[in-house]
Structure 1
Amino acid sequence: MASFESRNNVNDEEENDGESAFETIERLLNTPAVLNSYAVIGDILPRPGLIKHPITYMATLVQIGYEPMPPKLTKSIFGRTQLQLPGFFTYMKYIAQIDGFRGCYRGLKYNIIYSIVYQFTSINVDRYQKAHYYPELRVEDAKYIDTNHLARSIVCDSITRIAALSVAYPFHLIMIRSMAQFIGRETYYDSLSGAISDIYETGGLAGFYAGFAPFVIGECVYIFLESSLMYTLREKFEQLGIAKSNSSFITNTFVNVIARTLVYPFKVVSTVMACNGSNCRSLAASAYTAPEHPNWIECWQTLWTRNEIKRGSSIFWRYQPITSSLMFPMQPIVRMSPNHLKGF
């Protein structure tokens, strides 16, 4: 009997030795210890959205106020004179001519770190809340049952978002300033240690959360708008007898676009405050966010007055009001040849 068991153990070991690395990883990830944990590796790996990092890069520079190429006068379809700014491809071509193709992914490593930290914290906080305080929300689409479930879901999601951003935001700030280095060709943020040192020296511990308030408020407002609009539309569709499967994708896309558009100004203000004033004096980008704003509300008012509260919201067809205080952008610190101005 003992010999039979020993032969079985030997056979099992031989089978384990023969399995591939992928099979070993799959077997380990499917163990009860991992499956019952709060967050597994697949949950916190960076999302495919990181592929659009060059778009984020361009949008960040535009939100800061950096326009390396002057606008040109055009006519709208209604015959109104307007200023057209270069679109995404022209903007990124300009960056690539200076930094090469890899330069279009400046700040990507910090974006990856931010995504991992954010996802890990968000998943753990969300699961903890639903396990101890909101067990009724563990049911799929529970927040659409009634207004009480909707309100509790909004509170739960907001707490999760605030907690995750509180932990991950410093890496988002470092990403923004790393991108902003393109303007003045600094190197402080090329390494994580250099970035942490520069932020601490210029702004102290509070410097790691420059622009945090408008960013987190915008995210909470988005949660409220997205959840409320989805709840309202689903009710209307049910009254009209439209099946959820026939309207889900269109509804989600529509609601997401509307909600993100409404909260976009918060993102602009956050980016400006991240590179504004004495907290960012080591970077030339701070000149583009001048004057120094004492708080984000005053920054909002200034951008609103300039009609630039939504700058960067469009990346392909960009227009600037003739009445804008920045009608003729500040001359770029990085000089360019006349060939850079062709083709837009």
Structure 2
Amino acid sequence: HRAHPRHPRPAAQPSARRMDGGSGGLGSGDNAPTTEALFVALGAGVTALSHPLLYVKLLIQVGHEPMPPTLGTNVLGRKVLYLPSFFTYAKYIVQVDGKIGLFRGLSPRLMSNALSTVTRGSMKKVFPPDEIEQVSNKDDMKTSLKKVVKETSYEMMMQCVSRMLAHPLHVISMRCMVQFVGREAKYSGVLSSIGKIFKEEGLLGFFVGLIPHLLGDVVFLWGCNLLAHFINAYLVDDSVSDTPGGLGNDQNPGSQFSQALAIRSYTKFVMGIAVSMLTYPFLLVGDLMAVNNCGLQAGLPPYSPVFKSWIHCWKYLSVQGQLFRGSSLLFRRVSSGSCFALE
């Protein structure tokens, strides 16, 4: 019987796994349905609260700037042009559509997230994660790396499957939101939207923008886990013995152990922020492809060319210097050469 380590392993659980309720939450015991329902409900609450943020972010991503930039100064005292922040943009939406307008497209997004959570729970029942050994500081470098690779592969499988199943609802949600640009009402309900997409674009219409989203998920998971693992393996001091209070440290029994715990617990969080910044272009391209050339003003010139593929979209944004458009919602400086469709 393998002894369980008393402290967190070097590479923490991927963030997507934590959101599912850990390694035994959704698919074990008699409380599985209750636990699954709890996580669906909690996820719905977080999704609803964060929806205005995502809504404004999407409108910025498609290049919709209804308010002109204002003149301001940077930290060096130089005059620069700033586009409206999230709060100013959200206030504008409320003026146009009322407070309820901030939640346009929320229903399909709630359904998408719920489907993703249920899919993960079902996959954990079919492919239990119990067989995956957790990394311990007692492992040598080669052994611990193998465990991280195995765990990340498992997490990648769950993420890709749940992403593919939930993506059609994600597409509907994106299109419902960008209707604000042209004041359209083409996509109103989930069922009617499914019928429109299938009639106009066929089955593939439900999966536009899927590839860049999948690539972004894969790069994020592997980058996050491997970076956290190597940092913990090479930079975190493991000289403290694996006992509560760190016995074996002659000078300060608890100090070094506590520092190691703190570093291990924050490494994954910091790596998640760093890697998410690097993978943001995948998110941007995926969202733009979801609304491109679908009959809505936000996916047509002057807001966007009609892209032949997601690679075409990536190259276009790269040339325009807009691969990180929408990544910042507070201090949005107008870059040189930027071109926006202003009302």
Same fold (TM over 0.5): yes
State the shift of 1:56 in Å: 0.6
Instruction: List alignment gaps of at least 5 residues for structure 1.
Output: 1-31, 333-344
The residue type equivalent to 1:111 in the other structure is R
The residue type equivalent to 1:182 in the other structure is F
Q: Distance in 2 between matches of 1:36 and 1:284?
A: 45
| C-alpha distance 174-306 of structure 1, shift in aligned 2 (>3 A) | same
**Equivalent residues of 2:64, 2:303 under 8 A apart:** no
**Equivalent residues of 1:71, 1:85 under 8 A apart:** yes
| C-alpha distance 136-182 of structure 1, shift in aligned 2 (>3 A) | same
CA deviations 1:34-77 (Å, max 9, x no partner) are 33669732233342431111101111111111111111233322
The residue type equivalent to 1:44 in the other structure is V
* Number of equivalenced pairs: 293
- The answer for the alignment partner of 1:173 in structure 2 is 171
State the shift of 1:124 in Å: 2.0
User: Considering only CA atoms, is the larger Rg found in Structure 1 or Structure 2?
Assistant: 1
Q: Secondary structure at the match of 1:34?
A: coil
2:250 aligned with 1:251: no
Q: Distance in 2 between matches of 1:72 and 1:252?
A: 38
- The answer for the alignment partner of 1:88 in structure 2 is 86
Q: Secondary structure at the match of 1:291?
A: coil
Residues 1-344 of structure 1 mapped to structure 2, 5 A cutoff: 34-35=30-31, 40-47=36-43, 48-50=45-47, 51-130=49-128, 135-137=131-133, 139=134, 146-235=144-233, 236-239=235-238, 242-243=256-257, 244-277=260-293, 280-281=294-295, 283-287=296-300, 289-324=303-338, 326=339, 329-332=340-343
Q: Distance in 2 between matches of 1:141 and 1:60?
A: 41
Q: Distance in 1 between matches of 2:72 and 2:330?
A: 15
CA deviations 1:279-324 (Å, max 9, x no partner) are x12x111125521111111110110111110011111111121222
Q: Distance in 2 between matches of 1:130 and 1:151?
A: 17
The residue type equivalent to 1:300 in the other structure is W
**Equivalent residues of 2:292, 2:306 under 8 A apart:** yes
- The answer for the alignment partner of 1:28 in structure 2 is none
State the shift of 1:239 in Å: 4.5
Q: Please, which moves more after superposition, 75-84 or 224-233?
A: 75-84
TM-score, normalised to structure 2, is 0.78
CA deviations 1:149-175 (Å, max 9, x no partner) are 111112111111110011111111111
Q: Distance in 2 between matches of 1:125 and 1:40?
A: 12
Percent identical pairs in the alignment equals 27
| C-alpha distance 156-54 of structure 1, shift in aligned 2 (>3 A) | same
**Equivalent residues of 1:276, 1:289 under 8 A apart:** no
Structure with the bigger percentage of helix:
1
| C-alpha distance 130-141 of structure 1, shift in aligned 2 (>3 A) | farther
Query: Cα RMSD (Å) of the superposition?
Result: 2.6
**Equivalent residues of 2:209, 2:288 under 8 A apart:** yes
| C-alpha distance 247-42 of structure 1, shift in aligned 2 (>3 A) | same
Instruction: List alignment gaps of at least 5 residues for structure 2.
Output: 1-27, 241-255
Q: Distance in 2 between matches of 1:214 and 1:185?
A: 28
State the shift of 1:125 in Å: 1.7
State the shift of 1:123 in Å: 2.4
Q: Distance in 1 between matches of 2:34 and 2:158?
A: 14
**Equivalent residues of 1:70, 1:85 under 8 A apart:** yes
Q: Distance in 1 between matches of 2:188 and 2:32?
A: 38
State the shift of 1:190 in Å: 1.8
State the shift of 1:81 in Å: 4.6
TM-score, normalised to structure 1, is 0.78
